[in-house]
Structure formats: structure tokens, C-alpha cells
Amino acid sequence: MIAKPPGVEDIFPDRIDRWNHIITTAKTVFDLYNYREIVIPVMEFTEVFSRGLGDETDIVSKEMFTFEDRGKRSLTLRPEGTASVVRAYVENGEYNRLSSCKFCYSGPMFRAERPQKGRLRQFNQFGAEFFGSGDPYYDFEVIAIMDTIAKKLGISGYALLVNSIGCPECRKTFIEDLTAYYQGKKEQLCDDCKRRLTKNPLRLLDCKNAGCIALKAGAPVITSYLCGGCAEHFTSVKRHLDTHDIAYTSDPLLVRGLDYYTRTTFEFVTETDSGQNAFAAGGRYDNLVSVFGGKETPAVGFAAGIERIFLLTENNEMPQRSLDTFIVYSGSTARTEALKTAALLRSQGISSELDPESRGFKAQFKKADREKADTVIIFGDDEIAGGLATVKDMKTGEQKSIAITELIGYLKESKLR
């Protein structure tokens, strides 16, 4: 038997309804805010991510699936969506010439992480990206979109954490003081953070090592270093959240794990046995478009993990998918009529199933029940001779004889009730 690689999953029909419910709910909310879907490649030239995410991020330095194609070009399976969307936005002039642009996406991402529950090597995300304005309203808007999705999906007990990491100018003094603070505690840092201390000190605040987390308690906080413009921007974002009754907690140590963020960062988290677990996160990235060769364009967005949301909602009740009709028959003439009727029902938008192997009534009814059919249509040679079919409502047990010529109209009317 050939097994799947570690860290990937098969999604079978018993889970797919909830899976699709998550994606459909997200797309419905995106429509409410006029975000239009974009499909981005599953692989990019490696430079898209090394340039966009930063060479010193864990994703680029340790987690990417990178390989050479036959032309000796370095390609990478996308580890996240934002860099690809920005590359597409810059490359396609039709969109970057617009005053503003709203995109949403969903699909698989790939990271070479240690597989565990809710953390896979092939995982799935949906997300949204806005280009064209630095107005703090749009920071609020992408947060509000995810908050609406979380509420519609019935995710309970989550918290929204928000912070501002300022702009490159107001981060200079902060990074100097942050480096000085950790320099005196260098021996207590994990090996990764010892390297970050000289190459990318801001990443020290994103380390998940227990010892490094403890050291954060005494570290300087970025909000004390914000310039006037960044401070006012952050105040305005929080004012929008307050006005629209979206609860949040200001977390001055929240920096996120990617280098492209400026100003607003945020996470949606739930409490687990091992601490906080983010199921969605994002922020503003006003400099990333220019990094990819485009004109200076402010932007903001977020992404959410579908597998993590699935785990958070797997015990929630949701509408169950059902089959409209299952056709039960007995006799050769009835079999021919059953096959013809199934095709006709499907052509009219009524889902239908039957067992073509002519099993007994009991076995066919058992399969109809297993397929959660709303209605069973029963054909026998005697009924066919009289131009009739018996229709059974599987919820109430009520049965009626209906003329075959009136079957479509009857079933459509029943669906409306």
C-alpha cells in the first residue's frame, strides 16, 4: 500500500460539508465587502518569498519547499498568500493602475513544519488583501471581515489581539533598545534567537520557545516608540473597533512572524492547553508593493487557517447536506423508467440517486436512508403500467401516488415548502 506523505490530509465526504461551509461562509462575507476572488499560482519563483517575507523569517530560512526546475530556476511551493497576491498585483498593470483594489483567495499552502494537530505541511487558507489607501478604516475593515466570518461560523471564546509596530522610522530607536535589552540576556536565548539578535531583533518577540517567551515580559514595547503619525493611525483603528463593538485587547508585543508588516498587526486567537493559538492574522504592509517593483502603494490584509477553524467548529451543529431523491424500483420495466427519471430530475436541478444493480427493496431503502434522501420515489412494473409512481417523504413517512408526468412539478413544490 502506498501511503500519503507526512503532514498532508485526505478530506473525505464525511468532513467535506463542514469544510465547504467554512469556505462558502468566508466567500459570502467577502462578497458583502466587495472583495473579488483571485486565483494565484501554487508555485512561484523563490525570490517572491525570500524578498517579500524576509530571509531571516522562519518560513524562508527553515520551512519552504524549494526546488529547481529543468531550466535550473529556483521555484517554491507557496508558504502563504500575500506575497503571491502582491506579485500578481504589481505584474498586472490593469489592476495596479486602479485607485484601490480588493482581492480575496483560498487554497493550499506548504510549509516544512513538524506535523501536529492543526499544523500540517500542506494546509489551506482563505484571505483578503486591500491595495490603495493608508486610511485606518481599511485596517478596521479587514479585521471586521474576519470577525464577521468567525461569528457566522460559530467560533466561540476567541479573542482579537491588536498592535502597531510602527513604520521603519519610529522602529529604529525601538530596535536599538530591544537589542540592548536582549544583549544582556543572550545566554538565556534559544539558538535561533541568538542569531536573530544580530540579524533581525524584532523576530525575538515572535519566538515560541518557552524560555524566550518569559524574557519578553521585561522587554521594551513598540507602542512607547511610535511616531505621531503611527500613534494616531493606531488610535483611529481602535476607535473604529470601539464604534462597531468589536472587542479587542491591545498587545504591545504582537509583531507577527513576517518582515513586511508596518503599523497595524492583529491576531484572532483561542486559548488552548499550550497557550494561545491563532486561527487568523494579518496587518498592514505599506512597503511591500514597492519591494516588488511597483509604485508606493499602501496595503493591508489577513489570512485564516481552514484546518484550524475546522477543529474549532467540528462540534458545532450545521445544516446537513441531503439528497433530494432516491429512486427505488423492482422489475426490468421499472428499472428503465427509474434510470430515465433520475436523468430528468438531475436536468431540473433535483439531486437523485439509485442503485443500478437491481437489489431488493429492503437493500435499496437502506441505501436511501444512508444517503439521507429527503424523498424516495418507488417504481414497480404495476405502477409503471398505470403511469404512476409512489413518493415517500422520509421525514414523515407519508406516501402518495403521483402521476409520472406530474412528478417534477410535485417535487419542486415540495422543495419550496
Q: What is the mean pLDDT of residues 137-160?
A: 96
Are 145 and 250 within one domain? yes
Over residues 248-298, the pLDDT tens digits come to: 999 998 887 667 889 999 999 997 654 558 999 999 999 999 999 999 999
DSSP string, 68-88: E-TTS-EEEE-S-SHHHHHHH
Using the Cα atoms of residue 237, residue 242, residue 247 and residue 248 in order, give the sign of their dihedral: positive
Residue partners of 295: CB distance under 8 A and separation at least 6: 96, 289
Average per-residue pLDDT for the chain: 89
The pLDDT of residue 414 is above 80: no
Are 98 and 232 found together in one domain?
Answer: yes
> Is 409 contained in some domain?
yes
- Residue 215 falls within a domain, yes or no? no
Predicted local confidence at residue 257, as pLDDT = 63
Residues 259 and 346 in one domain: no
Residue 201 within a domain: no
In the chain, the percentage of residues whose pLDDT exceeds 70 is: 97
Q: What is the pTM for the complete model shown?
A: 0.86
Verify that 397 and 272 share a domain, yes or no: no
Instruction: Report if residue 116 sits inside a domain.
Output: yes
Q: For residue 246, tell me if it sits in a domain.
A: yes
Q: What is the pLDDT of residue 205?
A: 83
For residue 178, being part of any structural domain is answered with no
Task: Please state, in angstroms and as integers, the Cα–Cα distance from residue 71 to each residue in 43, 64, 303, following that order.
Answer: 15, 20, 32
Residue 137's Cβ-side half-sphere holds a number of Cα atoms within 13 Å equal to 4
Q: Are residues 340 and 293 in the same domain?
A: no
For 365-377, write each residue's pLDDT tens digit: 999 998 889 999 9
Residue 384, all three cell numbers: 409503471
Domain stop point among 281, 313, 345: 313
Tell me, what CATH number does 282's domain have? 3.30.930.10
272 and 381, same domain (yes or no): no
In terms of DSSP bridges, do strands 249-250 and 158-164 run parallel, antiparallel, or are they unpaired? parallel
Asked whether residue 271 is assigned to any structural domain, the reply reads: yes
Total domains present in the chain: 2
Cell 530560512 appears where? 61
Q: Of the residues 244, 278, 313, which one is the last residue of a structural domain?
A: 313
β-bridge mates for residue 383, sequence order: none
Q: Look up residue 81 and give its amino acid.
A: G
Which residue range(s) make up the domain with 49? Answer: 13-167+227-313
In a domain, 25, yes or no: yes
Range from 11-25, 82-96, 193-207, 339-353 carrying the lowest mean pLDDT: 193-207
Cβ-based neighbours of 268, under 8 Å, separated by 6 or more? 146, 147, 150, 158, 159, 160, 161, 278, 279, 280, 281, 304
Half-sphere exposure in the Cβ direction for 197 (13 Å, CA): 18
Residue 38 pLDDT grade (very low, low, confident, very high; cuts 50, 70, 90): very high
Measured in degrees and rounded to the nearest 5, phi and psi for residue 11 equal -105, 105
287 and 335 part of one domain: no
pLDDT value at position 183? 85
Name the domain boundary from 289, 313, 337. 313
Q: What is the mean pLDDT of residues 202-228?
A: 84
pLDDT band at residue 417 using 50, 70 and 90 as cut-offs: low
Does residue 259 share a domain with residue 118? Answer: yes
Same domain, 409 and 295: no
Residue 300: strand pairing partners: 130, 284
Instruction: Say whether both 152 and 46 belong to one domain.
Output: yes
Q: Are residues 300 and 269 in the same domain?
A: yes
Q: Are both 277 and 388 inside the same structural domain? A: no
